[in-house]
Amino acid sequence: MDVREMLAVAVAEARQGLVEGGIPIGAALFGPDGDLLGRGHNRRVQDGDASTHAETAAFRAAGRRPGYRGTTMVTTLSPCWYCSGLVRQFGISHVVIGEARTFHGGHDWLAEHGVRITLLDDPECVAMMTDFIAARPELWFEDIGQEG
Amino acid sequence: MDVREMLAVAVAEARQGLVEGGIPIGAALFGPDGDLLGRGHNRRVQDGDASTHAETAAFRAAGRRPGYRGTTMVTTLSPCWYCSGLVRQFGISHVVIGEARTFHGGHDWLAEHGVRITLLDDPECVAMMTDFIAARPELWFEDIGQEG
């Protein structure tokens, strides 16, 4: 499975989040052989859960595992510090990012610490977040802990 | 409420986790006036949930909030990178740590980024984790993503 196919899974999750009235960020975790381990999307609105960013949702859906060596986390948006910390702590090897134009999280820090980063700069991901931030700025700022 | 009283809440959560057969790490989030916003403990074993470290459990229990300025996260153990990222991303102002002898996470990094850190070096917290790691090393290493 190539990185574009992986991203398509995360994009489908983001779209589902939008349909549900939520924040359109999706993610998926793939194993070393490209097998899908878990997928999910931001659930702040749907579950009233501030802790479930897309990457955490995908990580949780993958269940308990002895380790994450060789795994790939794909996300529609540059991972925030929380989700970047997840990647570093659990030793996820590779992060595929849809875009980092609308939000620049911790992926440079991850690269400094040996995580492989693939930034796709995908126009659909950029458009989805640009539209969302314009429509619901207060929700977006809440999701990244930026007080007005 | 002083930091020792705050720590007592996190220790009670950790003990509850141990009673449930889980990993004995607890946390709580307090507001600027010392009001308890949320509390919780690691739920890897109980829920088969790799994503719910104690700090995430407390953060989730606090519900959706517009911001975290002036809040204090108290945790029985030095926060891992994932939980340190949570603190940094959401702008939690102060982290009170029971102990950092059995595990040294990201609290120095948080201090560098302006988070106030109070390290209590509490003997009960040290004993609880020392005993747990000796009894269930494989579970502990799984929880911090350290492959054997």
Per-residue pLDDT tens digits for A24-34: 999 999 999 99
Positions of B annotated as catalytic residues are 55
Instruction: Determine the Cα–Cα distance for residues B65 and B144; give it in Å rounded to an integer.
Output: 28
pLDDT in tens, A1-46: 899 999 999 999 999 999 999 999 999 999 999 999 999 999 999 9
Place of tokens 């924040």: A23
What is the residue-level pLDDT of chain B in tens, covering all 148 positions? Answer: 899 999 999 999 999 999 999 999 999 999 999 999 999 999 999 999 999 999 999 999 999 999 999 999 999 999 999 999 999 999 999 999 999 999 999 999 999 999 999 999 999 999 999 999 999 999 999 999 998 6
Name the minimum distance, in Å, from the CA of B105 to any CA of chain A. Answer: 9
Cβ separation of A81 and B82 shorter than 8 Å?
no
Residue B120 · residue B100 · CB < 8 Å: no
CB of B111 within 8 Å of a chain A CB? The answer is no
Nearest C-alpha in B relative to A58 = B51
Cα dihedral B118, B66, B50, A120 sign: negative
Residue B148: predicted pLDDT: 65
What is the ipTM metric for this complex?
A: 0.97
- pLDDT above 80: residue A148: no
pLDDT in tens, A56-68: 999 999 999 999 9
- 34-63 of B, contacting A, C-beta below 8 A: 44, 48-52, 56, 59-60, 62-63
Nearest to B145 among A51, A81, A89 (CB): A89
Residue A1: predicted pLDDT: 84
Between the alpha carbon of residue B45 and those of residues A90, B41, B132, the distances in Å are 17, 11, 14
Residue A120: predicted pLDDT: 98
* Chain B residues inside the 8 Å CB shell of A148: 66
Catalytic: A147?
Answer: no
CB of B114 within 8 Å of a chain A CB? The answer is no
* Chain B residues inside the 8 Å CB shell of A64: 44, 48-50, 142
Mutation for testing the B interface, residue in A77, A82, A95 having most B CBs under 10 Å: A82
pLDDT in tens, A73-128: 999 999 999 999 999 999 999 999 999 999 999 999 999 999 999 999 999 999 99
Cβ–Cβ pairs < 8 A, chains A and B: 103
The closest alpha carbon to A23, from A44, A49, A1, A50, belongs to: A44
* Chain A residues inside the 8 Å CB shell of B145: 67-68, 89-91
Amino acid at A92: I
Name the minimum distance, in Å, from the CA of B49 to any CA of chain A. Answer: 6
Cβ separation of A82 and B81 shorter than 8 Å?
no
Report which secondary-structure segment, H or E, holds B83.
helix B81-90
* Chain B residues inside the 8 Å CB shell of A91: 145-147
